[in-house]
Amino acid sequence: MFAERLKVDMGSVLKTMRIRRGLVFLLTMAVIACGQRGLAAQATGGNSASAHDFDAIDALMQAAVAKGSMPGGVVIIGHNGVVVYRKAFGLRSLEPTREAMTTDTIFDLASLTKVIATTTAVMRLVDEGRVRIDDPVAAYLPEFAQNGKGQITVRELLTHFSGLPPDLDLKEPWHGRDTAFKMAMQVQLANPPGTKFVYSDINFEVLGFIVQKVTGMPLDEYTATYVFAPLDMAETAFLPPASWVPRIAPRNTTKMESCCGAWCTIPRREGWAALRGTRGCFRRRTIWPSLRRIYSATTRKF
């Protein structure tokens, strides 16, 4: 039953998600048949790009840049545990200065933070027995039970079947973690829990609060210690340091703006992250094989 519903969930996610923000479109193509943790180190190994024909990809990206569909992007392809193609196209910044795209450009992960940081953190706690997937959220956050939300489960947050609306009220300006927590706890249901898929940022904001409540660590600190560091994700972080700024692809017109989550670089795909639990991670480096092992293990339980 759940497996069938999960298929519907993922189909809905693919239809729902759109890339809307930022001057730079990040295109990542990852074809990983089997993985090893040393993927990045093998990037210049035996199966080099010269042994394959990627002219069609070059033409596709060059045409997209020429048409103005995107300022630029980075493409990376992995096969049999080896990066066989990695190339930058176009520009990573248009304003206030024009900068060429490079393969070590650092990108905002936006809502990929949900899967890369928040889901990984939650499923690690599930694996340790510290969080149970079918427990009510209120078992961890009693304040969440108000306004008819007492029976929403952790699973329903993860699969967007919670019945919560798409986002917190953004009509009036607000600031800070405490305000976000209060708003998330008080939010009203939009649908009966378990009845309808609605992609909601609130789901993952609440999951981030669960991680903090269970571990005593904010989500950014927990993922830095227990997700990114063990996977050698050295260039994935919330609130990237000043030394990263020259390589950052601006989301709008500035290199850094107020942002909630994780950032990273594409070429060696090392990272996943998020403060808000829903978006904002910066990252770099390739760790698809290691993450694949994590999710193949947890999916069997899930």
| Residue in this structure with the two tokens 């694996």, named with its chain if needed | 127
Give the 3-state secondary structure of residue 180: helix
According to the model, what pLDDT value does residue 111 have? Answer: 86
According to the model, what pLDDT value does residue 151 have? Answer: 97
Distance between CA 273 and CA 285 in Å, rounded? 13
For the four alpha carbons of 119, 237, 220 and 170, in that order, the dihedral sign comes to: negative
- The conformation of residue 52, written as its DSSP 8-state character, comes to S
Residue 162 · residue 197 · CB < 8 Å = no
Domain architecture of the chain: domains with CATH: 2-301 (3.40.710.10)
According to the model, what pLDDT value does residue 240 have? Answer: 83
pLDDT tens series, the chain, 302 aa: 434 443 444 444 334 333 333 333 344 333 333 333 333 333 334 444 455 789 999 999 999 999 999 999 999 888 887 889 999 999 999 888 899 999 999 888 888 889 889 999 999 999 999 999 999 999 999 999 999 999 999 999 999 999 999 998 878 787 888 888 999 999 999 999 999 999 999 999 999 999 999 999 999 999 999 998 998 888 888 878 889 889 988 876 555 544 445 555 443 332 322 334 555 566 544 334 444 444 444 444 44
Distance between CA 130 and CA 215 in Å, rounded? 9
Give the 3-state secondary structure of residue 263: strand
| Residue in this structure with the two tokens 């994590």, named with its chain if needed | 294
Distance between CA 123 and CA 148 in Å, rounded? 26
The values of phi and psi at residue 285, to 5°, are 80, 155
According to the model, what pLDDT value does residue 234 have? Answer: 84
Q: What is the pTM of this model?
A: 0.71
According to the model, what pLDDT value does residue 176 have? Answer: 82
According to the model, what pLDDT value does residue 273 have? Answer: 29
Give the 3-state secondary structure of residue 6: helix
According to the model, what pLDDT value does residue 96 have? Answer: 83
Which tokens sit at 98? Answer: 């024009």
Chain centroid offset of residue 253 CA:
22
Distance between CA 184 and CA 286 in Å, rounded? 33
| Residue in this structure with the two tokens 């790009």, named with its chain if needed | 49
| Residue in this structure with the two tokens 């000043």, named with its chain if needed | 242
Which tokens sit at 102? Answer: 């490079």
Burial of 9 (0-12, 13-18, 19+ CB in 10 A): middle
Q: How far is CA 153 from CA 158, 193, 299, in A?
A: 9, 9, 17
Distance between CA 75 and CA 223 in Å, rounded? 26
